[in-house]
Structure 1
Amino acid sequence: MDDLHDLRVRHMTLVDCRAVSEIRVGGWRTAYAGLVPQSHLDGLDVAEDAEKRREMLLKAGNPVVNLVAERAGEVLGWAAYGPYRDGDIRTGDAELYAIYVRPGHLGGGVGGALLRTSLDRCRAAGYPRVFLWVLKENARARRFYEHHGFAPDGVEEPFEVDGVEIPELRYALWLEPGENTP
């Protein structure tokens, strides 16, 4: 179990792109083994992903907030959130796009710290609700989100990976006191 006292959550910078990509690629390979085609997992490239992260951070007007969790200068996790994406429809809600923790640090509170910080910031920004998408068969991730108050809202859509459709569930969490999760 990691010690959370010296864990720091902060905004991601360009210097963090390589570490975040290592975490993201490692996270995909760990969490989605057996759930998505192995050919896709084998084709993930850290350098290519890091370049995409750099481009996104430098994009003017990008509403996505990227956070990292670090301890003693080592980036251990990454989260990204922003406005809910539903085509051109804007609902006024937020979406948690991603949370990944460096393999070897799962279950140590890094993901929880990133999630709590993301939710606190969404609440402060005035978002009434946060949505996220999770692979239906990703039991570990579903337990994590349910533990933090999220619940499936009945919406399911396929996510295509290398020509294979994989079911995803949408989860929701109301941020305003007294609201019910859909």
Structure 2
Amino acid sequence: MGADGTVRVRRVRPGDGTGIARVRLAGWQHAYRGIVPAAYLDAMRPDPEHRERQVRAPAPGSAAYVAETAETAGGEPTIVGWLAAGPARDADAPEGAAEIYGCYVDPGRARLGVGRRLMAAALAETGPGVPVLLWVLKDNRAARRFYENAGFRADGAEQALDRGDPVLDAVREVRYLLPAGARQ
């Protein structure tokens, strides 16, 4: 946490792209090691320009949040977590459902409540009557426990991780659902 132990969650804003890219890359390389081929993870590079474009021109109905500490990097707070959400994209999603598109925390901040704070911010905006779904790697036991502790349950849907790379075809995702009214 910050020098005073605080982490602040806020909506993303212009200039956050570099911090988001760093956290997302570190999250992938840490959480997916042993699930996604190591060569793929090791070849990944941060994509701050892409993340900055997403911050400046978000998809309709989407929202993204960062968690930042009081610790500074170049005079600015340090981004230690990121979550993006918006309307559910699956054709068979419950009507009006929202979706968590991604949630990543700096590996050095894992299990300190950062992800929980990001999730709380996103769920507070959707309202308790809105079902929320997400996709998680089938073999990512830590993430599955995190989502289950937040009230999500696997709903039986499964798919290949589709990122346009044949290396990832064997990696499976499972869908989790937080039903309307099931907020903790």
User: What TM-score results when the alignment is normalised by the length of structure 2?
Assistant: 0.85
Residue 112 of structure 2: aligned partner: 108
Give SS of 2:171's match: strand
Equivalent position of 1:44 in the other structure: 44
Q: Which runs of 5+ in 1 are unaligned?
A: none
Contact 2:18 2:52 in 1 (8 A): no
- Give unpaired runs (5+ residues) of structure 2: 71-76
- Superposed structure 1 runs of 4+ greater than 4 Å apart: 1-5, 87-90
Say whether 1:74 aligns with 2:72. no
- Calculate the TM-score normalised by the size of structure 1: 0.86
Query: What's the CA shift string for 1:141-174, capped at 9, x where partnerless?
Result: 0000001100001111111453132111100002
Sort the Cα spacing of 1:31 and 1:89 in 2 relative to 1 into closer, same or farther, 3 A: closer
Per-residue deviation at 1:2?
7.8
Identity, % of aligned pairs? Answer: 38
Match of 2:34 in 1: 34
Aligned to 1:173: 178
Query: Using a 3 Å threshold, how does the CA distance of structure 1 residues 91 and 4 change in structure 2: closer, same or farther?
Result: farther
Alpha-carbon distance in 2 for matches of 1:63, 1:109: 26
Partners of 1:128 and 1:174 within 8 A in 2: yes
Question: Partners in 1 of 2:11 and 2:104 — Cα distance?
Answer: 15
| Structure 2 partner of 1:138 | 140
Q: C-alpha separation between the residues in 1 aligned to 2:58 and 2:49? A: 16
Distance in 2 between residues matched to 1:4 and 1:173, nearest whole Å: 33
User: Given that residues 66 and 79 in structure 1 are in contact (C-alpha distance below 8 angstroms), is that contact kept between their aligned partners in structure 2?
Assistant: yes
Deviations 1:28-73 (A, max 9, x none): 0000011112222122111xx1111112222265332110011212
Task: Quote the Cα distance in structure 1 between the aligned partners of 2:133 and 2:96.
Answer: 11
Change in CA separation of 1:168 and 1:88 when aligned onto 2, cut-off 3 Å: closer
SS in 2 for 1:15: coil
Displacement of 1:5: 6.3
Asked whether the equivalents of residues 82 and 94 of structure 1 are also in contact (C-alpha less than 8 Å), the reply is yes
